[in-house]
């Protein structure tokens, strides 16, 4: 196949070399017509987005020579994604995640600034109004799993502590489920807290374990069809905000997890991989909590937020 270059008028690739010149002319005229349909759009940014989207969609269709049956299958797939989406399950976010579109959007919008903590995917299981806990409190509730002590600091890129920073945390239990995936209205494995006067925070959670993204729907069927695993590397979600600072959405991951290289939503970044140190039963806890004969883990995650002015 010969190398192709975009046409000047449409900015997209022409048809395949086996397509006749007459057929290519028909296809390119259609693209011109669609592009011109946005000429009266009064919002320059919206116009740019819609015309670029048009070029890319038509380029894809022409590149693979999409059949009508395949087009119908795609419509049915997207319809199924919409039908399964509700206030507790966002299948469209899941679809974006497994295509790497979520991570690419994060990359585009979160260029590295000094030593600011890197961002990663939001995921489909964040819930507003998570309960408030005090520093040193427990986010796990009745969720099953190994207790894990998490501590750290919140600072700006100049090393100044950010007292009162809001820290949202949420995670799956050891069975791989978030509270919203259960039908009993439980609230567990999630909370919010505030950094203390020195910018420090601490809480009890659960040691993260690997789990599959919800794969009983159309996204899971797609992954199975293409031979991809639905598994996510072990992680704990954070969303951290403070006045005049950029809100950070990120995770921390467990060093040594075999899935770090195969995370199905491409969310792992080396800077976010942390040591979760195993503590044998009987080891004194940082706050004196009595865990009886249970083992536990501990980790540290120091968070650096970038200023909104950078």
Domain ranges, ordered by start, for the chain: 97-305
pLDDT of the residue at 14: 55
Per-residue confidence band for 2, with pLDDT thresholds at 50, 70 and 90: very low
Q: What percent of the chain has pLDDT over 90?
A: 86
Bridge-based pairing of strands 200-206 and 147-156 is antiparallel
Indicate if the pLDDT at residue 10 is higher than 90. Answer: no
pLDDT of the residue at 8: 46
Write out pLDDT tens, residues 242-281: 999 999 999 999 999 999 999 999 999 999 999 999 999 9
The CATH homologous superfamily for domain 97-305 is Aromatic compound dioxygenase (2.60.130.10)
Indicate if the pLDDT at residue 308 is higher than 50. Answer: yes
Specify the pTM. 0.86
Indicate if the pLDDT at residue 290 is higher than 70. Answer: yes
Query: Which carries the bigger pLDDT value, residue 170 or residue 16?
Result: 170
Lowest model confidence (mean pLDDT) among 1-10, 99-108, 116-125: 1-10
Indicate if the pLDDT at residue 15 is higher than 60. Answer: no
Write out pLDDT tens, residues 170-214: 999 999 999 988 989 899 999 999 999 999 999 999 999 999 998
Indicate if the pLDDT at residue 217 is higher than 90. Answer: yes
The encoded tokens of residue 190 equal 């999630």
Query: Which carries the bigger pLDDT value, residue 10 or residue 84?
Result: 84
């Amino acid at each position: 196949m010969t190398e192709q270059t975009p046409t000047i008028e449409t900015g997209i690739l022409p048809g395949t070399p086996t397509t006749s010149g007459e057929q290519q002319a028909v296809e390119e005229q259609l693209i011109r017509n669609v592009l011109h349909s946005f000429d009266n759009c009064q919002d320059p940014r919206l116009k740019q987005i819609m015309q670029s989207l048009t070029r890319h969609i038509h380029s894809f269709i022409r590149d693979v020579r999409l059949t009508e049956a395949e087009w119908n299958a795609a419509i049915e797939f997207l319809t199924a994604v919409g039908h399964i989406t509700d206030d507790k399950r966002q299948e469209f976010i899941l679809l974006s995640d497994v295509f790497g579109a979520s991570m690419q959007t994060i990359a585009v919008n979160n260029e590295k600034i000094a030593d600011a903590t890197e961002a990663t995917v939001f995921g489909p299981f964040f819930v507003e109004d998570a309960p408030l806990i005090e520093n040193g409190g427990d986010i796990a509730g009745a969720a099953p799993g190994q207790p894990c002590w998490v501590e750290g600091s919140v600072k700006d890129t100049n090393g100044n502590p950010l007292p009162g920073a809001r820290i949202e945390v949420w995670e799956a239990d050891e069975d791989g489920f978030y509270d919203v995936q259960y039908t009993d209205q439980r609230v567990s494995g999630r909370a919010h807290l505030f950094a203390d006067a020195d910018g420090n925070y601490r809480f009890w959670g659960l040691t993260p374990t690997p789990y599959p993204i919800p794969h009983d729907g159309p996204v899971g069927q797609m992954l199975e069809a293409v031979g991809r695993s639905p598994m996510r590397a072990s992680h704990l979600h954070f969303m951290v905000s403070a006045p005049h600072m950029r809100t950070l959405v990120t995770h921390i991951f467990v060093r040594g997890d075999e899935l770090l290289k195969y995370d199905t939503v491409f969310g792992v970044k080396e800077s976010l991989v942390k040591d979760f140190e195993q503590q044998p039963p009987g080891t004194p806890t940082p706050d004196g909590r009595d865990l009886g004969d249970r083992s536990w883990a501990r980790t540290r995650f120091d968070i650096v937020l970038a200023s909104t002015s950078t």
